Amino acid sequence: MDSDNVNNVNDERTTPEMEIKRQRMEKLERLRSEARFDPYVIDRWDKKHKLSFVHEHFSHLGPDELDKEATIRTAGRVMSIRKHGKASFVHLEDDSGRLQLYFSFDSLGEDKYEWFKKWVDTGDFLGIEGYPFRTKKGELSLLVTEFKLLSKALRPLPEKWHGLKDTEVRYRQRYLDMIANPEVREVFRKRAKIIKTFREVLESHGTLEVETPILSPIAGGANAKPFITYHNALGINLYLRIATELYLKRLIVGMYERVYEIGKNFRNEGIDSMHNPEFTAMEVYWAYANYEDMMNLTEEIIVACADAMGGRQLPYGEHIINYEPPFRRATMVDLVKEHCGIDFLSITDEDARRLAKEKGLDIKGNESRLLIMTEFFDNFVEEKLIQPTFVLGYPVEISPLAKRDPDNPDFTRRFELFICGAEVANAFSELNDPLDQRERFLDQLKKKEAGDEEAHAFDEDFVTALEHGLPPTGGLGIGIDRLTMFLTNSSSIRDVILFPTMRPKE
């Protein structure tokens, strides 16, 4: 060990937390030697009741009333201890809530009560038996008649038991966040309910859940920079998937008519309040459907999720988001005209480039007016779309996998759903013309060769699949993390991902 590392270790040992750890390590040694008890040997406790069970079934008890007919057998973590001579009050917590325990000389006897006072600390896990009662001050509690130390905590609870506010620590050590902030556990229960709702809606429409590869020889299905890894046995580079789209559409070619997948995608991009390199998305594909069917399905899923969260008017920051259908539907052309005062269908490419430069947009000078329109939308319109809004009419240039609009071939049958200024869903009438698909992949390949790291890769096998015939198909992707943010009033994507990507500690 070098001298710098020695200094770091010594510094750590002088922190209050490490001093508490040192004291508890000594206590553990004494517990094993003096009391001949090892808490880590215990491998089971028959927990029959959640703490919430007591609140749900014994709230009728009046002050100083004890129910000796009901023996409660429970377990949880000790969150606080108040010792008062021959009686002590403990707050025990499990994943259903918190309850006060009453340890007394009279109910336990001298030996057991003194054992409790000597060896039990905050953070420890206890198995408990006792009777429900209400104290004179009116707090529902358990009179403890038996207890067992199930596990010893060698470190103190966060911030001396008064909560955990440091966001860096909260995200890096999520277990501490959950101990200190029970409302965080509730957010992830809601996230699980949202995902369950997705499945219920999709399966009610006869949609089959499937799994597709996470490692792929080509990173396709989206315009994004992938993570690259290397497979030793095959001697090739592989990519963590950026989307599930191309594999799912192969399944439609293979005669499944409705499929979906909920899973992780990975994009080697920046991290901010709306982006995490590893994120969860749902993608669904229905044969014989189009993007309007996907719009209706999107609405159905999100309304069902809002209902599962308690209503269709839900807060997000300073806004109340209205999830009552139907959501607004508007074209990108009309929204840019509404918010920027420019009709990109009535100006030339040269006019569009001049306007872009006047607005300070970074352009190369050879972009089309429709491509520049998307820049105006990204920079000046998105953030203003607070209430759920379906944006229709995306240009072909930025939609390499979407079917062209036969009434206006410069545009595609595509929409994106925006909530609170962020994209939540993206859907197409899927391009099923293999000749058109090949040409669009070639165009994307030129952009990639010109330095665009997010341009779509050329996927020859996918084109081959299309040549075997893909029926008219509607496809949809929804970002589960972002939707969960908005439905749970969470300000950052890190608040709804259990273990978000973090820079390693130096």
| CA-based R_g, the chain, Å | 29
| Contacts with 19 (C-beta within 8 Å, 6 or more apart), sequence order | 13
- The pLDDT averaged over each successive group of 10 residues in the chain (506 residues) is 40 75 97 97 97 97 95 97 94 97 96 97 98 96 98 86 70 92 95 98 98 95 92 97 96 98 96 96 98 98 98 98 98 98 96 95 91 97 98 94 93 98 97 94 88 87 97 98 98 96 86
Distance set, CA 61 to CA 67, 128, 133, 164, 211 (Å):
8, 20, 7, 34, 52
209-244 tens-digit pLDDT: 999 999 999 998 888 999 999 999 999 999 999 999
| Contacts with 3 (C-beta within 8 Å, 6 or more apart), sequence order | none
Q: How far is 494 from 275, CA to CA, in rounded Å?
A: 9
Q: How many CB atoms lie within 10 A of CB 379?
A: 15
pLDDT number for residue 5: 40
Q: Give the end-to-end CA distance of the chain in Å, rounded to a whole number.
A: 17
pLDDT number for residue 448: 84
| Cis ω before 158 (30° cut-off from 0) | no
Q: Is 416 annotated as a binding residue?
A: yes
DSSP assignment letter at 359? T
Query: Can you spell out the DSSP letters for 100-130?
Result: EEEEEHHHH-HHHHHHHHHH--TT-EEEEEE
| Contacts with 283 (C-beta within 8 Å, 6 or more apart), sequence order | 243, 244, 245, 248, 260, 261, 475, 476, 477
User: Burial letters for 446-457: b for 16+ Cβ neighbours within 10 Å, e otherwise?
Assistant: ebbeeeeebbbb
Q: Is 17 annotated as a binding residue?
A: no
Average pLDDT, the chain: 94
272-320 tens-digit pLDDT: 999 999 999 999 999 999 999 999 999 999 999 999 999 999 999 999 9
CB 406 within 8 A of CB 413: no
Q: Both tokens of residue 152?
A: 């010893």
CB 90 within 8 A of CB 153: no
pLDDT number for residue 457: 85
pLDDT number for residue 506: 72
Q: How far is 476 from 216, CA to CA, in rounded Å?
A: 21
